[in-house]
Amino acid sequence: MKENKKDWILPDLKSAQKRTKNDIPIERLVFDLPDVVRDMGKARKYYLRTYGCQANERDAETIAGILEAMGYTMTTSTDNADFILLNTCAVRKNAEDKVFGEIGNLKHLKLTNPDLILGVCGCMPQEEEVVDTILKTYPHVDLIFGTHNIHRLPQLLYQVSMNKERTIEVFSKEGEVIENLPVSRFGTHKAWVNIMYGCDKFCTYCIVPYTRGKERSRLIEDIISEVEELKGRGFKEITLLGQNVNAYGKDLKEPANFALLLKSVAETKIERIRFTTSHPWDFSDAMIDIIASFENIMPYIHLPVQSGNTDVLKIMGRRYSIDEYKTLFVKLKERISDCAFSTDIIVGFPNETDEQFQQTLDIVDFCQFDNAFTFIYSPREGTPAAQMVDNVPKDVKKKRLAQLNAKVAQYALKNNKAYIGRMVEVLVDGPSKKNPEIYSGYTRTQKLVNFKADGVVSGDLVNVRITDCKTWFLIGEKA
């Protein structure tokens, strides 16, 4: 591979951090590829592996759509791939370590197939440190591009594949909101729908506002036409995606907010609507009213608390006290009937004391979450928290995580037990791999159910009687 270093566009976290008041233009691309590019993937296979959150999963569907428009077909094996792309996550160090491990493992494939192209995209390339490491340590990586460069994939791949040039293009500033990119949906009855990109909350531990840029919303009409199109194709469930959906519309000229958007989506009458993630700050009463009043908005809320202690929340930059969180939680529970809740929690934030951690356990006792995603704090270069001196030893952090997980599991089981004997509606995902008589699917409250049935297919909505449960799933029989 040639290296024209002057053509490289490298990441710059400082400029990624800047926010301007400029309106974000919406660009309606007509996605049209020149013939040479359209044929590039003919008889070639791509392997795409995605790490991290739903935003990455949804990006993967666009990447797949673009590659398929270029003639590539998907393969699930790295052994017969012509193009391997790792779509990465930067939220914690262990997510990054996995990717570096995988890049190392893939090296030998280049020996048997010298034409193989290896690419890294997603959130990791947005970090200067990561690109430096790849350049120094992994010369077999041919292509690096960031979260704001996905629409440029055809040109970038052309450069690598045809011009044999090692290519790096990482824009640090978000560009236009781009509509009409091709998409290859991985699901048949459940789909992700982006409603906004980026995050402006700048929680002090979090890299996302740097890797995904400024908050920018899609227009309501574009979102609704995507939902209508999915509904027309037989999709039963959509999940509206944003790092913080409460902020939807704040950047648009036309008055728009998440409550209005949710109402319009509910009026399409698509069977099931979910949304994620809601920040506890700015969760409006209007949103609660809409969630409570439409049958097709699922009663399940992911409400990240992060810590049970107000001082820690303050240092995290979370903008709410633990009492405010509790007040919101109680209000949601009262107003939305039979609502399930999950949360995200970080333990071992710099200098977290035993007492402060105890309050995190207390909030779990108070809310009795159905599920919680729990993490040990991981310093992220460039974020304010990474500058903080941390006196909490690693083994203390590990102990806290284990203690927290035990408590979370205890409430998950308790909540599941309350389902025994109940009849619930389940959206069928498909038969179990091990036993074709057992199907799995999810309740309205996002609980996994494994149940006995025959003659059902994925995408069916069926009633299931719950007969038993485990900590992380319900067991039942189709009624």
Residue 325 within binding range of ligand 5AD, rule CB under 6 A: no
Select from ligand 5AD, ligand SF4, none the partner in contact with residue 197, using the beta carbon and a kind-dependent cut-off of 5 to 8 Å: none
Based on the shown chain and the rule CB under 6 A, indicate whether residue 306 belongs to the binding site for ligand 5AD.
yes
Note whether 419 and 247 are within 8 A (CB): no
Among 304, 308, 382, 459, contact with ligand 5AD (rule: CB under 6 A) = 304
Nearer to ligand SF4, 87 or 243 (CB): 243
Q: Report angle CA 354, 355, 358 to the nearest 5 degrees.
A: 85
CB of 389 to ligand 5AD, least distance (A): 16
Determine contact, residues 13/172, Cβ cutoff 8 Å. yes
Distance, CA of 280 to CA of 302 (rounded, Å): 10
Nearest one of 279, 208, 283, 204 to 56, comparing CA atoms: 208
Looking at the Cβ atoms of 174 and 179, the one nearer to ligand SF4 is: 174
Per DSSP, what are the bridge partners of residue 26? Answer: 177
What are the DSSP calls for 193-240, one per residue?
EE-EE------TT--HHHHS-S-EEPPHHHHHHHHHHHHHTT--EEEE
Give the total of residues touching ligand 5AD (CB under 6 A): 12
Dihedral pair phi/psi, residue 347, rounded to 5°: -110, 155
- CB atoms inside a 10 Å sphere around CB 46: 22
**Sign of torsion, CA 152 158 160 161?**
positive
Separation of CA 324 from chain center? 26
Cα–chain-centroid distance for residue 446? 16
Q: Quick one: which segment of 133-141, 146-154, 330-338, 372-380 binds ligand 5AD (CB under 6 A)?
A: 372-380
The two structure tokens encoding residue 246: 């409460």
Cβ(464)–Cβ(424) under 8 Å? Answer: yes
Calpha distance 419→362 (Å, rounded)? 24
Report which residue's Cβ sits closest to ligand 5AD.
Answer: 344
Question: Which does residue 199 touch among ligand 5AD, ligand SF4, none (CB within 5 to 8 A, set by kind)?
Answer: ligand SF4
244 binds ligand 5AD (CB under 6 A): no
**Residue 244 touches which of ligand SF4, ligand 5AD, none (Cβ within 5-8 Å per kind):** ligand SF4
What phi-psi label fits residue 447: left (phi over 0), alpha (psi between -120 and 50 degrees) or beta? beta
Measured in degrees and rounded to the nearest 5, phi and psi for residue 145 equal -145, 160
> Considering CB distances under 5 to 8 angstroms, the limit depending on partner class, which of ligand SF4, ligand 5AD, none binds residue 375?
ligand 5AD
Binding partner selected for residue 202 from ligand 5AD, ligand SF4, none, CB under the kind-specific 5 to 8 Å limit = ligand SF4
Q: How far is the CB of 264 from ligand 5AD (least distance, A)?
A: 27
Nearer to ligand SF4, 50 or 244 (CB): 244
How far is Cα 385 from Cα 433, in angstroms, rounded to an integer? Answer: 44
- 346 contact choice in ligand 5AD, ligand SF4, none (CB below 5 to 8 Å, kind-dependent): ligand 5AD
DSSP symbol at 405: H
Region of 261-269, 354-362, 370-378, 411-419 interacting with ligand 5AD (CB under 6 A) = 370-378
Find out whether the peptide bond into 188 is cis, omega within 30 degrees of 0.
Answer: no
| Candidate list 153, 206, 424, 469; residue touching ligand 5AD; CB under 6 A | 206
| 378 near ligand 5AD (CB under 6 A) | yes
Nearer to ligand 5AD, 133 or 378 (CB): 378
198 binds, among ligand 5AD, ligand SF4, none (CB under 5 to 8 A by kind): none
Beta strands in 336-444 (DSSP E): 340-347, 371-376, 423-431, 438-443
91 near ligand 5AD, judged by CB under 6 A: yes
Instruction: Return residues touching ligand SF4 (CB under 6 A).
Output: 199, 201-203, 206, 208-209, 243-244, 279
Longest dimension (CA), the chain: 67
* 88 vs 167 by CB, closer to ligand 5AD: 88
Instruction: Find out whether 72 and 45 touch, Cβ atoms under 8 Å.
Output: yes
Q: Virtual CA dihedral for 104, 105, 109, 115, nearest 10 degrees?
A: -40
Shortest Cβ 209–ligand SF4 spacing (Å):
5
Provide the minimum distance between the beta carbon of 470 and ligand SF4 in the complex, in angstroms, as a whole number: 30
- Minimum distance of ligand SF4 from residue 20's CB (angstroms): 18
Pick the closer one to ligand SF4 by CB: 83 or 325: 325
- Judge whether 43 and 80 are in contact, CB under 8 Å: no
| Closer by beta carbon to ligand 5AD, 196 or else 475 | 196
Which residues are registered as beta bridge partners of 448?
Answer: 442
Nearer to ligand 5AD, 203 or 256 (CB): 203
Q: Which of 179, 282, 324, 344 binds ligand 5AD (CB under 6 A)?
A: 344
**Among positions 89, 346, 466, 469, the unique one binding ligand 5AD when judged by CB under 6 A:** 346
CB nearer to ligand SF4: give 244 or 416: 244
138 binds, among ligand SF4, ligand 5AD, none (CB under 5 to 8 A by kind): none
Query: 321-348 burial string, b = 16+ CB within 10 Å, else e?
Result: ebeebbebbeebeeebeebbbbbebbbb
Q: Which residues bind ligand 5AD (CB under 6 A)?
A: 91-92, 205-206, 304, 306, 344, 346, 375, 377-378, 380
